[in-house]
Amino acid sequence: MVMTLAEKIIAAHTDQAEVQAGQFVYAGVDFCLGNDITAPIAIKEFEDAGIERVFDRKRIALVPDHFTPNKDIASAEQVKMLRRFAERHRIEYFFEIGRMGIEHALLPEMGLVLPGDLVIGADSHTCTYGALGAFAVGVGSTDLAACFATGKVWLRVPETIRFMFDGKLPRWSSGKDIILHVIGDIGVDGALYKVMEFTGPTISSLPMDDRFAICNMAIEAGAKTGIIKTDDVTEDYVRGRAKRGYRPCHVNGSPDNIETRSYNASKISPQVAMPSLPSNVCPAEELSHIKIDQVVIGSCTNGRISDMRIAAQILQGRKVHPSVRLLIFPATQETYLQAVREGLMDVFIGAGAAVSTPTCGPCLGGHSGVLAEGERCLSTTNRNFPGRMGHPKSEVYLSSPAVAAASAVTGRITHPEELI
Amino acid sequence: MRGRCWKFGDNISTDHIIAGRFLSTSEPGALAAHCMEDARPEFHKEVSPGDIVVAGDNFGCGSSREHAPIAMKGCKIGAVIASSFARIFFRNSINIGLPIIESVEAAREIEEGDDVEIDMNKSRILNHTSGKTYSFEPFPQEIRDIIAAGGLMKYVKKKMGK
Ligand code: SF4
């Protein structure tokens, strides 16, 4: 039987030679994670069950990134729970403020999640690691508690839909535009319970940051995860970072009975998702009349160094529009420092942007940039549901960092071409 | 179980069920006080124990927050019937024991305020208001084992021989 990439990785984590879609398995987990919102519930479940030991203290990450630096007493208490649990079980990877980053940017950067891995995370955007050629799924807190105890997860082996891209992306388009375009095409439940495998010459030529952005938003199409096969680009990224041995998974050929959708990447212009669904997508240039109050550049989707670079390239020598607040959140300490070293911070601050230490903050309407009633934000994050970034009657538009930076300058949604 | 139905549309996200701004606690009562606030502000005040939530496609889409099914359990919702569920919400509900049922027909036809009875053992829904009955697909054995144990942690404990 020819297995898909996802099936092959799952099979390698069970005692079976082969698995197939629809089958129910308990699979071994290489790495698991929780954050300051989801891990407290998992810790409580784990402790209430009276289990004394975690399955492997080097295969668990606890990342306080959502309401940190602690926004209030309640969130400080949640982080304290993580810290205490990490101490008690000598968890190797607890990331303290000042040494952290948004989980899905941080763990690949630290070489903690690796090609061929099976990863679970109590956070829906765990699917981001699929960009490394891992099978990585978001789960809930109880799943994480069970994994702390057993190192295993229950899974229904998912079907795969293949998304094939050919052609060269236009100058101002990126991985973000690819994934917004696909979600616009198939809808927010277009890949429900399935794996989205991204493939083809366009994908092979994309750098890792774009691949992470693509897999990050697979969940926004309802998918179990996104995945991209491990190749030289992946290996270059992982080399020098990997904290342990790993085994990339390669498939020979692929099952021919798989649903495949083909796209011409040269036709994918910068895309914007309008309120209040990530599938409500339209080309940026058709929205040039939409005025905005706030722009956010950052998050686990687009807070990496190449995102910072393209934003700086557009903001260089320009000013943020007087009626716009531009907030920039590098996703990790390493990205932050790199941006300082490259002089990007001079550009941001000089342009009139507010720059923050890494945090999820505004992405989930948590803190550091919450929207008031009737306000409109253009954001490089991944969700625009009502109330996502603040008041239930505020609006969120989603785009790439290039469109976000250009729009911050003009005060309305803008294709970067208009400026440059 | 039997209760009054509250009807919602498609793509009700975990942000609707419990918004990000309320997540600095995981206590069921505190979460219940904001359940569905951004979709129907009156919901948490007027919902009664045993009421049933009926929704369209992709219920519970968005974040992995277990706070969403916990908030619904906190409101003492009897069950959720939807045309389809987002997958993390689905597994969280199984893991913590919030009864969920996938039925396209029932989700479409049941109206706001209908008096509906669910028989989990017989996989049957009876709408006392319209007189219609629906049968639904039971879960696979492995999922029923988790439910029968009383949730995933109890199941794991049993397996670990605790
Ligand atoms: S940046 Fe936003 S989407 Fe990403 S992990 Fe944080 S809250 Fe979730």
| Ligand 1 nearest atom to the CA of residue A331, by list position | 1
Contacts of A372 in chain B (CB under 8 A): none
- pTM: predicted TM-score of the whole model, two decimal places: 0.95
Q: Give yes or no for B150 touching A (CB within 8 A).
A: no
Chain B residue closest in CA terms to A41: B26
Apex CA B14: angle with CA B82 and CA B113, to 5°? 45
pLDDT beyond 80 at A48: yes
pLDDT tens digits for range B124-156: 999 999 999 999 999 888 998 998 898 999 999
Helices A305-315 and A344-351: crossing angle in degrees, nearest 10, is 50
Contacts of A140 in chain B (CB under 8 A): 64-66, 88, 91-92, 95-96
Residue from A44, A55, A385 to probe the interface with B (highest B Cβ count within 10 Å): A385
SS3 A195: strand
- Residue from A215, A142, A145, A143 nearest A176 by CA: A215
pLDDT tens digits for range B26-79: 899 999 999 999 899 999 999 999 999 999 999 999 888 999 999 999 999 999
pLDDT tens digits for range A86-131: 999 999 999 999 999 999 999 999 999 999 999 999 999 999 999 9
As for ligand 1, residues whose beta carbon falls within 6 Å of it are: A 66, 102-104, 123, 125, 299-300, 360, 363-364, 381-382
Q: Give yes or no for B67 touching A (CB within 8 A).
A: yes
Tell me, what's the ipTM?
A: 0.91
- Residue from B88, B132, B111, B101 nearest B8 by CA: B111
Distance from CA of B96 to the nearest CA of A (A): 7
The shortest CB-CB distance from A192 to any of B13, B15, B87 is to: B87
Q: In sequence order, what are the residues at sequence separation of 6 or more whose Cβ sits closer than 8 angstroms to the Cβ of residue A212?
A: A104, A105, A108, A128, A131, A175, A304
Distance from CA of B71 to the nearest CA of A (A): 13
In three state form, how does the secondary structure of A147-188 look? Answer: HHHHCEEEEECCCEEEEEEECCCCCCCCHHHHHHHHHHHHCC
Inter-chain CB proximity A146 and B156 less than 8 Å: yes
- Domain spanning A271-418: CATH 1.10.132.20: no
Inter-chain CB proximity B87 and A74 less than 8 Å: no
Domain A5-262 superfamily per CATH: Aconitase, domain 3 (3.30.499.10)
Dist. CA A17 → ligand 1 center (Å): 36
Residues in chain B: 162
B119 bridge partner residues: B124
- Return the pLDDT at A37: 95
Q: Which residue ranges make up each domain of chain B?
A: 2-159
- Return the pLDDT at A273: 98
Inter-chain CB proximity A140 and B91 less than 8 Å: yes
Distance of CA A416 to the CA centre of its chain: 23
Say whether A271-418 and A5-262 share the same fold: yes
Structure-token match 């699979």, residue found: A27
- Residue from A226, A384, A217 nearest A301 by CA: A217
Beta strand segments in B21-142, E: 52-55, 79-82, 100-102, 115-119, 124-127, 133-135
The shortest CB-CB distance from A385 to any of B15, B140, B154 is to: B15
- Residue from A43, A49, A34, A24 nearest B153 by CA: A49
Q: Which residue ranges make up each domain of chain A?
A: 5-262, 271-418
* Rounded alpha-carbon distances, angstroms, from residue A360 to A67, A100, A127, A356, B67: 7, 12, 17, 10, 18
Distance from CA of A124 to the nearest CA of B (A): 5
Inter-chain CB proximity B87 and A387 less than 8 Å: no
Q: Give yes or no for B102 touching A (CB within 8 A).
A: no
How far, in Å, CA of A303 to CA of A408, rounded?
16
Question: Please, where are the H alpha helices in A92-137?
Answer: 103-109
pLDDT tens digits for range A169-211: 999 999 999 999 999 999 999 999 999 999 999 999 999 999 9
| Ligand 1 nearest atom to the CA of residue A364, by list position | 7
> Thinking of the domain B2-159, which architecture would CATH place it in?
Alpha-Beta Barrel (3.20)
pLDDT beyond 70 at B162: no
User: By alpha-carbon position, which residue is closest to atom 1 of ligand 1?
Assistant: A299
Contacts of A123 in chain B (CB under 8 A): 63-64
Structure-token match 């319970």, residue found: A193
| Ligand 1 nearest atom to the CA of residue A103, by list position | 5
- If one counts every other C-beta atom within 10 angstroms of the C-beta of residue A90, the result is 10
Give the pLDDT band (50/70/90) at residue A257: confident
